């Protein structure tokens, strides 16, 4: 099980492994963080920071690990998986969202109960007036894509 996943800067290929950070600065530019993912420093690749995602250890219906976005320097990465699940198997009601890691107070569920949450959640109806968070169900999850679309 690889703890992190991201897209390479040079060719966009998805790589998995351990996460590392290097800081670079030149006299002409401010300090810049460069992220890399791989087995070790010698066998790793520089990656788009926005494409980074962390393994949740939860698997989907095809036995594939689900990855979630996480905060980097105050901004949420966009590498997390988009998943669907059946809220109620009998009714076939399908719900879904983006997987994200949070360590803060969130409004969980339709009732918008505020609670401190640490861990992975689904961000449902993102960027709408109906956005809400729910805990990740541990069964009937299906990965349908990632939030990362190859920019930034």
The predicted-structure confidence for 3-51, as pLDDT tens digits, reads as follows 999 999 999 999 999 999 988 777 777 777 889 999 888 889 999 999 9
| Of residues 52 and 125, more confidently modeled | 52
Q: How far apart are CA 11 and CA 27, in angstroms?
A: 29
| Res. 91: pLDDT tops 80 | no
Contact present, 145 and 66 (Cβ < 8 Å): no
CA angle 129, 84, 49 (to 5 degrees): 75
CB atoms within 10 A of CB 83: 25
Cα–Cα distance, 122 to 136 (Å, whole number): 6
Q: Look up the pTM and report it.
A: 0.86
| Averaged pLDDT of the chain | 86
Spatial separation of the C-alpha atoms in residues 26 and 6, rounded to whole Å: 26
- Name 121's Cβ contacts closer than 8 Å, sequence gap at least 6: 99, 100, 101, 102, 106, 108, 133, 134, 135, 136
Percent of the chain with pLDDT over 90: 47
Give the whole-number percent of the chain exceeding pLDDT 70: 91
Q: Contact, 5 vs 37, CB < 8 A?
A: yes
Domain boundaries, the chain: 4-51, 80-146
pLDDT at 110 over 60: no
């Amino acid at each position: 099980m690889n703890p992190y996943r991201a897209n390479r800067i040079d060719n966009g290929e998805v790589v998995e492994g351990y996460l590392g950070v290097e800081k670079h600065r030149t006299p002409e530019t401010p300090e810049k963080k460069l992220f890399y993912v791989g087995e070790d420093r010698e066998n790793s690749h520089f990656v788009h920071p926005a494409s980074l995602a962390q393994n949740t250890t939860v698997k989907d219906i095809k036995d594939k690990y689900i990855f979630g976005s996480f905060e980097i320097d105050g901004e949420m990465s966009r590498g997390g998986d988009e998943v669907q699940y059946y809220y109620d198997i009998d009714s076939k009601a399908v719900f879904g969202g983006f997987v994200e890691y949070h360590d803060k107070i969130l409004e969980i569920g339709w009732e918008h109960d505020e609670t401190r949450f640490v861990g992975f959640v689904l961000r449902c109806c993102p960027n709408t007036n109906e956005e809400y968070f729910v805990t990740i169900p541990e069964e009937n999850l299906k990965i349908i894509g990632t939030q990362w679309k190859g920019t930034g």
